[in-house]
Structure 1
């Protein structure tokens, strides 16, 4: 009897210990390997601080005694697991020591350079021969200066971040990827190619660009939708043609090569990123994915405005956090919009007239179409634009009418969304382009189409359905003044699906001629007749919607 009691007590104690261990394991971020704990916020970079040391702390995710957090009174942890949650046995975090400049003593050393690699950077490099490099874990080498005035130098490292992937890029002003590649980690997870990025000096200030009509009276918008970028090179889905590059296809490089070629040929004045810029399930580090398209635009000094799709926030960064990131980047016109209405990214952009004119020539409205249906039992599929968003749009449009009336030409309005409106399903409406797949619009109709017409918006364009690229004239209204062109951008990214009868990736261009109050649109292809303007059509002329047959007569 006594033996049985001892055994029972021992089992109960063992179960209690196991429960406590599991609670600690799953609730404490120091030990968690859940994806949500990988990186759920942007790194904090405080002004007035300089970095005095860097190290990497590795721990076992199976051992509750093994900690990945150094003394928090001394070290600040950069909240990105270097394995991005793929290390079922190991985790690793970069830690930095930092101080306020005014608190530095004569004994303090300030980091002025960082390298990665197996060998001392001074070896084999005569320019570094007289420099002393200090080794740190994971192949990090740091150069520190003991000179007190070094804290005031532009060489002093003031912030550290980690980006991932062999194709990682750094578009943030003042930031640079550390040379010589990825950190050297122990085995125990997928190779995510973590790379240090450092900033020297204080954050660089930049003003938002002011988009204006060109001297010739024209303004060109390129709509890029459904890029589906990943952390790392990404895997191609349904690539067409399949035989390109001997059948080998890395999704993101091929996508960006396509986008860059068309950017250089079309030279748009503005780019609209209309959702699903990143693939939530293949981008465990969203900035690493997002920075790829941003770097392409920043390099060319092209302003851009972004909205979200249903996949953007399926990873670990919320819409709010991603929009904070967009708002902090150069050439971005993106805004979170009012927090009093549903969604993130309800805003408008005014395109001003040429020269020093302060009058708006074009207004572009951007609305968040959310993601999946909040009432799947009744309305399957996707979410819908909410009544308070429509109210915001109508109030904004009405409030702008008086100022728009002072523009000497005809003021034009357009709108951009991600998920198509229910009216895109109308098989009886005339289309220009291809309709290859079912329209995955919301099942519940809040009649945003009608609000667009009431506020004199002439065209709305969406993404989401990759293999649809048509423009549809919504013709169930009474007069041409009451009609609306509803367009698709077409999918551009090889990280998203495209398997519809040899579908070639594409994107859409709108050219607005303010002298004629005309909007012309066409598409560009990734392969085939790449120089052609596919399905070029005038959709608005003299400020009025043009049906397809009228456009054909004019040509």
Structure 2
């Protein structure tokens, strides 16, 4: 599946995150989340949807594979390419990461995963976006990285990007270096530790988490440092912290949260989505609440 710039000569990404669909029969909050998903796909007219983790609740949820497949069917209603990475709640009980990835075969419009790499059952892959008028002119690379779940050692609460994933980024970025791209992005679920620094330099949005202000891992394996040195990444996008939706900046790279989408989970922020517009020289982004979707489409 080739992804190309649209007629407006840009590329529009819908980021949905933390949907947290639960068991059947569905709670009324799940039905509201389904409506949000349908409105986002149908009204916002994206060129690509990226789901950055915690699609479902899996802990203690019977037949969570059925729940996940039903969610994929919601995505399949629309002619929109879809990319997925997973969060800490997607494979807690019945599922392994590999088993949930295997169900992606039911996704009708799954993106092409370039340079797919799996370590400790966590997948990284690259998405390529091309010029509208020249199928050989690569415009952007979107690195999608599974950030794991719980900390494997008694240090903090959440898992860190595996060192082999950092090495994968270095190899993959080196492969694309010949294109001299400076406007790429990285997508994951759990924010990297540098989000704490970015929270000191917020350009827009809110930072309202009250447990850990930034629920990042306590171990830093160097992904941000390598992206800074490589110079090809302009922004990181994460989910996980439902009461954070800010755009922050650290050493010239923006570190950005999505907008929580699921109604059956904690958080005081209004449910919604993030829109990301890739252009030749910039990445523009803003959040929308569900009540704003129709307005955005009418502009």
Aligned to 2:76: 298
Q: Distance in 2 between matches of 1:234 and 1:463?
A: 23
2:117 aligned counterpart, secondary structure: coil
Among candidates 283, 295, 298, match of residue 519 of structure 1: 283
1:394 and 2:160 correspond = no
Instruction: Give the deviation of 1:282 after TM superposition.
Output: 5.4
Instruction: Give the deviation of 1:328 after TM superposition.
Output: 4.8
Among candidates 170, 180, 188, match of residue 417 of structure 1: 188
2:233 aligned counterpart, secondary structure: coil
Q: Are the counterparts in 2 of residues 424 and 439 from structure 1 also a CA contact under 8 Å?
A: yes
Among candidates 425, 445, 450, match of residue 220 of structure 2: 445
Instruction: Give the deviation of 1:490 after TM superposition.
Output: 2.1
Aligned-residue CA RMSD (Å):
2.0
Q: Are the counterparts in 2 of residues 231 and 282 from structure 1 also a CA contact under 8 Å?
A: no
Q: Distance in 2 between matches of 1:366 and 1:473?
A: 20
Q: Distance in 2 between matches of 1:228 and 1:291?
A: 14
Among candidates 419, 422, 434, match of residue 206 of structure 2: 434
Instruction: Give the deviation of 1:444 after TM superposition.
Output: 1.1
Q: Are the counterparts in 2 of residues 219 and 512 from structure 1 also a CA contact under 8 Å?
A: yes
Q: Are the counterparts in 2 of residues 298 and 331 from structure 1 also a CA contact under 8 Å?
A: yes
Q: Are the counterparts in 2 of residues 509 and 522 from structure 1 also a CA contact under 8 Å?
A: yes
Instruction: Give the deviation of 1:508 after TM superposition.
Output: 0.6
Instruction: Give the deviation of 1:447 after TM superposition.
Output: 2.3
Q: Are the counterparts in 2 of residues 284 and 315 from structure 1 also a CA contact under 8 Å?
A: no
Larger radius of gyration: 1
1:338 aligned counterpart, secondary structure: strand
1:520 aligned counterpart, secondary structure: strand
1:495 and 2:264 correspond = yes
Instruction: Give the deviation of 1:278 after TM superposition.
Output: 1.0
Q: Are the counterparts in 1 of residues 182 and 234 from structure 2 also a CA contact under 8 Å?
A: no
Aligned to 1:322: 100
Instruction: Give the deviation of 1:337 after TM superposition.
Output: 2.9
Show the 5 A alignment for 1:349-368: 349-355=127-133, 357-368=135-146
Q: Distance in 2 between matches of 1:258 and 1:330?
A: 20
Aligned to 1:461: 237
Distance 1:279 1:416, change over 3 A: same
Alignment deviations for residues 147-180 of structure 1 (CA, whole Å, 9 cap, x no partner)? xxxxxxxxxxxxxxxxxxxxxxxxxxxxxxxxxx
Instruction: Give the deviation of 1:330 after TM superposition.
Output: 1.4
1:506 and 2:278 correspond = no
Distance 1:462 1:344, change over 3 A: same
Aligned length: 290
Q: Distance in 1 between matches of 2:43 and 2:271?
A: 17
Alignment deviations for residues 12-51 of structure 1 (CA, whole Å, 9 cap, x no partner)? xxxxxxxxxxxxxxxxxxxxxxxxxxxxxxxxxxxxxxxx
Aligned to 1:382: 158
Q: Distance in 1 between matches of 2:112 and 2:207?
A: 30
Q: Distance in 1 between matches of 2:271 and 2:164?
A: 35
Q: Distance in 2 between matches of 1:317 and 1:290?
A: 11
Q: Are the counterparts in 2 of residues 439 and 465 from structure 1 also a CA contact under 8 Å?
A: yes
Q: Distance in 1 between matches of 2:229 and 2:14?
A: 26
Instruction: Give the deviation of 1:343 after TM superposition.
Output: 4.2
Q: Distance in 2 between matches of 1:334 and 1:288?
A: 24
Show the 5 A alignment for 1:120-159: none
Q: Are the counterparts in 2 of residues 326 and 334 from structure 1 also a CA contact under 8 Å?
A: no
Q: Distance in 1 between matches of 2:189 and 2:11?
A: 22
Q: Distance in 1 between matches of 2:80 and 2:108?
A: 9
1:306 aligned counterpart, secondary structure: strand
1:288 and 2:69 correspond = no
Q: Distance in 2 between matches of 1:338 and 1:522?
A: 30
Aligned to 2:3: 211
Instruction: Give the deviation of 1:519 after TM superposition.
Output: 1.5
Q: Which one has more relative contact order, counting CA pairs under 8 Å at least 6 apart?
A: 2
For normalisation by structure 2, the TM-score amounts to 0.90
1:338 and 2:117 correspond = yes
Q: Distance in 2 between matches of 1:532 and 1:380?
A: 41
Alignment deviations for residues 185-235 of structure 1 (CA, whole Å, 9 cap, x no partner)? xxxxxxxxxxxxxxxxxxxxxxxx221112331110001001111232444
1:255 and 2:21 correspond = no
Distance 1:530 1:364, change over 3 A: closer
Aligned to 1:225: 17
1:496 aligned counterpart, secondary structure: coil
Instruction: Give the deviation of 1:286 after TM superposition.
Output: 2.7
Distance 1:294 1:432, change over 3 A: same
Alignment deviations for residues 392-416 of structure 1 (CA, whole Å, 9 cap, x no partner)? 10111001112x24xxxx6621110
